[in-house]
Amino acid sequence: MKDFNERVQEIKDTIDISSGNKKVDTLIKNARVINTFSGDIYKTDVAINAGKIIGFGNYPARQVIDIKGAYLSPGFIDGHIHVESTMVKIPEFAKVVMPCGTTSVVIDPHEIANVLGLDGIKYMLSSSVDAKLGVYVMLPSCVPSTNLETAGAELSSHDLSLLLNDERVLGIGEMMNYPGVIYKDDEVIKKIAIAKNKLIDGHAPMLRDKQLYAYVSAGIKSDHECTDVNEAREKLRAGMYIMIREGTAAKNLKSLLPLVNSENSRKFIFVTDDRHLEDIYREGHINYLVRTAIKMGIEPVRAIQMATINTAEYFGLKELGAVVPGYNADLIVFEDLKKMKIRSVFKDGQLVAKDGKIIDGIIPEYKGKVRGTLNVKWIEHEDFALKAEGKYAKVINVIPGEILTKESVERIKEDAGYVSSDVERDILKIAVIERHMASGRIAKALVKGFGLKKGAIASSVSHDSHNIVVIGTHDGDMYTAAVQVVKMQGGICAALNGQVLEALPLPVAGLMSDRSAEFVSEKLKRLEEIARSLGSRLPDPFMAMSFLTLPPIPEIRITDRGLIDAVKFKVTNLFVKK
């Protein structure tokens, strides 16, 4: 911590350097600067010293970098992401997204907190210290997200208050328990109250009218769950920042962009929420959202504002989001506004990535450990049997490209008094196994939309409490897949005819690998190929499966407690009379 006199001298030195009286560290010459404040693009040189931008024009410099008329933009900021969904630790995540132009992220470590509580949040903070990437935290507000599932931890308002003073903690993360806000649940209101002058992010799918106003009036200022223009417009008119999300399972970018115009664009933020490594490798990160927005007709500077200064201003990151004096030299260089192919990335004035690759050795490996987190009562083959208690049952219907689900009532396929998967009609069995308390609780239901013709898939990644979820055509394969997940202390696998076809161990809280991003990516690619060979027609069946256990998202879900009516927010019967 600098004392007052040191700070005074630092200001004087900065004024001297900005005035051109001393050499700067770096001068980036012949840049077409994208100015997110003035909203224009112009050619100039940019001077950098001690990781900060200190002026425009010609300066004496120790190092000169001529970018020959390329564009120079502020580094991109992801305003809401669960890094755990990439299945790699933060240093590995940084190696993947920084070459895409992402220099800062605002994470909500909700997933690992549901498994490890405060220890999980502390792990994410400590693992990001040397990762070069700017990592800021919104504290998970709903651990567990509801009382309709079993999590590995519970975080009270008091627990959260212990971390609120950390300089990288910006506030309280997505308030998923919107009924708790509206109906004034005491503990929910306490979590809002402890935020004081810090931010509270929202999560309120399809909340409208006076309930929306009550939610916003409580102090919640953003939402990333809008799926259409009408919903987003109403929330925008209520004063909320609209986080336009383009993840792996939930894709709302193209649906919401038509609402953006010159009058309201500064209230929009680009986020990824949950995005798998494969999508980042194939399409990009925030640069993909910017590129797509421009392609759809959003003016380029406006699109870049939504990825930079809008996010920085919402979160109060006062030295991020612009190429102006006094701001951090988090910069990206690219030659074409439409292609958005990133040539160079600077973080705090240091070159960290070039031509799509991280600079070798710049990000050290993080070797911190967490305890084992899979605590499962012995699983038997018979645990996957589902007794037929009627001829008709409620079925969870997957909506491709969305995390919303729909409910249907279907005639079951029955065999000797038990429900069988019906591959012809794509009605498969799904099970959720409680994995935190060894309770032995296993819930079973039916799901439609995965298309499996044989085998089973399983994962310990299942939002939000991350119990083990299994979908399959055959009880034996469901058993094999579930047991493999337990043996790995968490992970993803596919099984057929009693054999494990492929598996990705995720020993860090059952959510993240301790291996490289390349290793994880190859394993995921192989698992997706196998899922397709088993008949799945979803682009990413493992991601889609992971959201079927998320009670706060309508319309119907499954947790270890049973089938969940996510509209009425209660456990519901599987079988119905018709």
Query: Is the Cα torsion angle 93, 95, 99, 104 positive or negative in sign?
Result: positive
Say whether pLDDT at 569 is over 90. Answer: no
Q: What pLDDT is attached to residue 241?
A: 98
State the Rg of the chain over Cα: 25
CA dihedral 291, 297, 299, 305 (to 10 degrees): -50
206-230 exposure pattern, b = at least 16 Cβ within 10 A, e = fewer = ebeeeebebbbebbbebbbbbbeee
Report the SS3 class of residue 144. Answer: coil
Say whether pLDDT at 539 is over 90. Answer: no
Contacts of 141 by beta carbon, 8 Å cutoff, 6+ apart = 160, 172, 173, 174, 175, 176, 177, 188, 191, 200
What would the pLDDT profile of 371-402 be if each residue is shown by its tens digit?
A: 999 999 999 999 999 999 999 999 999 988 77
Amino acid present at 329: A
On average, the pLDDT of the chain sits at 95
Return the axis-axis angle of helices 118-127 and 90-97, rounded to nearest 10°.
50
Say whether pLDDT at 56 is over 90. Answer: yes
Say whether pLDDT at 578 is over 80. Answer: no
Contacts of 17 by beta carbon, 8 Å cutoff, 6+ apart = 23, 24, 49, 54
Please check whether residue 116 is in contact with residue 370, taking contact to mean a CB–CB distance below 8 angstroms.
Answer: yes
Cα atoms found within 13 Å of the Cα of residue 213, Cβ hemisphere only? 3
Q: What is the mean pLDDT of residues 453-474?
A: 97
Token duo for residue 98: 């920084």
Return the axis-axis angle of helices 517-533 and 90-97, rounded to nearest 10°.
80
Residue extents of the structural domains in the chain = 73-358, 381-576
Q: What pLDDT is attached to residue 135?
A: 98
What would the pLDDT profile of 245-304 be if each residue is shown by its tens digit?
A: 999 878 899 999 999 999 999 999 999 998 989 899 999 999 999 999 999 999 999 999
Q: What class has domain 73-358?
A: alpha beta
Please check whether residue 41 is in contact with residue 71, taking contact to mean a CB–CB distance below 8 angstroms.
Answer: yes
Please check whether residue 162 is in contact with residue 573, taking contact to mean a CB–CB distance below 8 angstroms.
Answer: no
> Which of 120-124, 211-215, 566-570 is the least confident region?
566-570
Please check whether residue 136 is in contact with residue 168, taking contact to mean a CB–CB distance below 8 angstroms.
Answer: yes
- pLDDT-based confidence at residue 147 (cuts at 50, 70, 90): confident
Q: Apex CA 438: angle with CA 177 and CA 475, to 5°?
A: 95
Say whether pLDDT at 77 is over 70. Answer: yes
Query: Is the Cα torsion angle 106, 111, 112, 118 positive or negative in sign?
Result: positive
Say whether pLDDT at 337 is over 80. Answer: yes
Q: What is the mean pLDDT of residues 447-475?
A: 97
Q: Is the whole-model pTM more than 0.75?
A: yes
Contacts of 363 by beta carbon, 8 Å cutoff, 6+ apart = 91, 94, 95, 130, 131, 132
Contacts of 312 by beta carbon, 8 Å cutoff, 6+ apart = 77, 318, 320, 321, 322
Token duo for residue 444: 């079973």
Say whether pLDDT at 240 is over 80. Answer: yes
Helix or strand holding residue 484 (H, E): helix 475-487
72 to 52, 314, 439, 503: CA distances (angstroms): 15, 23, 56, 42
Q: How far apart are CA 219 and CA 52, in angstroms?
A: 33
CA dihedral 270, 273, 274, 277 (to 10 degrees): 40
Please check whether residue 104 is in contact with residue 347, taking contact to mean a CB–CB distance below 8 angstroms.
Answer: no
Please check whether residue 143 is in contact with residue 155, taking contact to mean a CB–CB distance below 8 angstroms.
Answer: yes
Q: What pLDDT is attached to residue 402?
A: 79
Please check whether residue 76 is in contact with residue 287, taking contact to mean a CB–CB distance below 8 angstroms.
Answer: yes
Say whether pLDDT at 1 is over 80. Answer: no
Q: What pLDDT is attached to residue 146?
A: 83
| Burial tier of 433 (Cβ tally within 10 Å: 0-12, 13-18, 19+) | buried
Q: What pLDDT is attached to residue 361?
A: 95
